[in-house]
Amino acid sequence: MGEGPTEQVAARLHSASIRLLRLLRREDDSSGLSAPRLSALSVLVFAGPQSLAGLAAAEQVRPPTMSRIVDGLVEAGLVTREAKPGDRRSVRIAATEEGRRLLEAGRERRVRALTSRLARLAESERRALTRGVEILEQVVR
Amino acid sequence: MGEGPTEQVAARLHSASIRLLRLLRREDDSSGLSAPRLSALSVLVFAGPQSLAGLAAAEQVRPPTMSRIVDGLVEAGLVTREAKPGDRRSVRIAATEEGRRLLEAGRERRVRALTSRLARLAESERRALTRGVEILEQVVR
DNA sequence: GGACATCGTTAGCATGGCTAACAATGGGAG
DNA sequence: CTCCCATTGTTAGCCATGCTAACGATGTCC
């Protein structure tokens, strides 16, 4: 049965990741944005401008759902939606400068909260964690 | 400005965790439960029976929101809601056996998906990742 | 140029988020 | 014991977010 050591570390990594993001999510309250809007904005900032379909796929929601999330972000001035030059069916959605700033401020709050936790570790532990993160990056690529 | 190595590893861990859970979330479709219901059920299974307020706090939502999520879980037969013996204001919410089974099946799909990714790593990398996970567990505790 | 494919939006529904207000119970202070 | 207040959860009512179905507009291909 599935109880090898690889499966065990998978289960523990899964659980720890959930806990980590649950902790950091508390920092998002002050952003004034809902989780779906914040997450969509984050894709636009870090992965660049997207079509609606691309953004919906990245967020694992259906296009009509994403269309309304984008409505809200446009109204808030955090995102622009313009017709794509070569294909007028499609739409190019991009973060505005204000959107970038707002997202970056939120990300910094999250990273700061995590940094203060990592600061309690011993130096050797931080090194080992860094190595683990490098491997994790490879896993999720 | 804040650009020390601890902050860098915090930022990378943050980003990698988001990507990881985004990947694994795809396994949840077949559960037939929405994300909020699945997440609330998960708390009940892994942390044991809870009051409504406790469950709401764990999920970082307000009590009325959690009350309706519990309604849905009760209707689906995955959870029971009963008056607490010593204090009839309070309720005790607990997962049913069926709830436990459903949650465990979903968790296994997620862990299996992650395991198959970890299987591609070299043995030394898996060891280093395991060490990193141990430290991460300490960080989120 | 006409059939079909693709992309996004609209419509309409269920669920999930909130605050405000309420009912019920519990727990003292006097 | 009684009254006042705190605590707990639900109800009501709003808006946002998830879906499918259906549609309009545009692109593509024969």
Task: Give the pLDDT mean for B14-18.
Answer: 98
The answer, for A124 touching chain B at a CB cutoff of 8 Å, is no
Q: CA A81 → C1' C4, Å?
A: 28
**Which residues 6+ apart lie within 8 Å of A109 measured at CB?**
A27, A28, A30
pTM of model > 0.75:
yes
**A12 in B contact zone (CB under 8 Å):** yes
Per-residue pLDDT of B106-123, as tens digits, reads 999 999 999 999 999 999
- pLDDT confidence bin for A1, thresholds 50/70/90: low
Give the residue-averaged pLDDT of A103-116: 97
Residues B27-43 have pLDDT tens digits of 999 999 999 999 999 99
Calculate mean pLDDT across residues B2-16: 92
Contacts of A126 in chain B (CB under 8 A): 5-6, 9
> In this structure, are residues A21 and B18 in contact, taking their beta carbons and an 8 Å threshold?
yes
Mean pLDDT to the nearest integer, A84-111? 96
Give B24's contacts (C-beta < 8 A, 6+ positions apart): A14, B110, B113, B114
How would residue A66 be classed by pLDDT, with cut points 50, 70 and 90? very high
Of the pLDDT bands very low, low, confident and very high (cuts 50, 70, 90), residue B4 is confident
Tens digits of per-residue pLDDT, B46-92? 999 999 999 999 999 999 999 999 999 999 999 999 999 989 999 99
Residue A58: Cβ-neighbour burial (10 angstroms; 0-12, 13-18, 19+):
middle
Rounded to a whole number of angstroms, the distance from the CA of A102 to the nearest CA of chain B is 17
Q: Which nucleotide has its C1' atom closest to residue A66's CA? A: D17
Class of B5-140 in CATH: mainly alpha
pLDDT of residue B2: 58
Q: What residue in B sits closest to A20 (Cα-Cα)?
A: B140
Within 63-122 of B, beta carbons closer than 8 Å to A belong to: 107-108, 110-112, 114-115, 117-119, 121
Nearest C-alpha neighbor of A129 from the set B23, B11, B113, B114: B11
Cα–Cα distance measured from residue B135 to residue A84, given in angstroms and rounded to the nearest whole number: 47
Q: What is the mean pLDDT of residues A23-27?
A: 97
Return the residue matching tokens 């929601």: A61
Summary mean pLDDT of chain B: 96
Query: What local confidence, expressed as pLDDT, does residue B98 receive?
Result: 97
Domain boundaries, chain B: 5-140
